[in-house]
Amino acid sequence: MGLAMALNPKVRVILVREASLMDDASMELVDSLARKHGFQCWLERVGSEAEGDQSFVLEAGQLKN
C-alpha cells in the first residue's frame, strides 16, 4: 500500500488484484490506510453476491442486476 500510494500520489486510486486471498486483518489494514491517506481502493474479489452498497457483481462479462 505504501509503495502504491507513493508511486501515484495524484491519482489516489489503488487496484488490489486477487483480494479474495486476503484475510480479515489484511482487509482492515487496506481500509484504514486508504482512509487515512485519502485513497480509493478497488478490490478484485471472487464471489457470487455483492457485499454492501459499494460492490457489484459481474457475470459472463456483464453487470448482474
> Does residue 63 fall inside a structural domain?
no
Give the strand pairing for 13-16 and 57-59.
unpaired
Domain count, the chain: 1
Answer yes or no: is pLDDT of 65 > 80.
no
Query: What does the alpha-carbon distance between residue 18 and residue 65 come to, in Å, rounded to a whole number?
Result: 23
pLDDT, tens only, 20-62: 999 999 999 999 999 999 999 998 887 766 666 677 778 888 8
pLDDT at 51: 67
pLDDT at 64: 81
pLDDT at 50: 61
> Does residue 39 fall inside a structural domain?
yes
Measure Cα distances from 37 to 13, 15, 24, 34, 42 in Å. 11, 15, 20, 5, 15
Reduce the DSSP state of residue 60 to 3 states and report it.
coil
Region 4-32: mean pLDDT is: 93
> Does residue 62 fall inside a structural domain?
no
DSSP 20: G
**Domain carrying residue 25:** 2-46
